[in-house]
Amino acid sequence: MTENTDVIAADAPADDSPTLDQLEKEGDIAADYIEEFLDICDLDGDIDIDARNGRAYLSVQATDADNLRLLSKPETVNALQELTRLAVQNKTGSFSRLILDIGGSRDARQTELASLVARAIERIQGGAAEASLPAMSSYERKLVHDLVSEAGFVSESKGEGRDRHTVISAS
């Protein structure tokens, strides 16, 4: 009888998910990129780096909320997030699923999405077979799928590219 001596590294993921070390490296690269961006824009902001759900998560806050007001608009955050992901990918050679939050924009958007989901569910409870939500990013669709599931309903993404959206139904 032979003994199996294979050793698996403690921080190696069971799938293709990035390790904690990789996420921390992504976060550091992204923080440097965002810090340079803020310097160019002559804006002050504190950057926090975290790893959540297999993603690097950067949060930019300022003591003066107006300081980041323009950057915290959803379209601006998404565009800056994509640029930051590209900067990380350029340095690491790997695709990044980094999440960027500026001035609490992600929490505000999650509240908006929860309201959209609640109204869609009301339409279904009122007799509609399904309810479609507007097109949104993959991250936002994931949040919607989670909210819909928690409410006991079913959702699926439909469409392609920028038109990809979520459709909610009772079953």
Residues 95, 78 within the same domain: yes
The residues near 25 (Cβ < 8 Å, ≥ 6 apart) are: 92
Neighbours of 160 (CB within 10 A): 7
Q: What is the pLDDT of residues 89-145, one digit of tens each?
A: 999 999 999 999 999 988 888 999 999 999 999 999 999 999 999 999 888 899 999
Q: Report yes or no on 12 lying in a domain.
A: no
Among 22-31, 61-70, 98-107, 150-159, the minimum mean pLDDT is found in: 61-70
> For residue 63, what is the DSSP state?
S
Full strand arrangement of the beta sheet holding 55-61: 46-52, 55-61, 99-102
Q: Are residue 84 and residue 114 in the same domain, yes or no?
A: no
Residues 56 and 124 in one domain: no
65 pLDDT above the threshold of 90: no
The torsion defined by the Cα of 130, 77, 51 and 33, in degrees rounded to 10, comes to 150
Q: Which of 103, 121, 137 is the last residue of a domain?
A: 103
Q: Is the CB of residue 146 less than 8 Å from the CB of residue 157?
A: no
Phi/psi of residue 154, each to 5°?
Answer: -115, 145
Confidence at residue 137, expressed as pLDDT on a 0 to 100 scale: 85
pLDDT at 109: 87
Identify whether residues 85 and 117 lie together within a single domain: no
pTM of the model: 0.72
Q: Which residues pair with 49 in a beta bridge?
A: 58
* Range(s) of the domain holding residue 65: 20-103
Residues 67 and 140 in one domain: no
Please indicate, yes or no, whether residues 64 and 29 belong to a single structural domain of this protein: yes
Task: Report which DSSP code applies to 68.
Answer: G
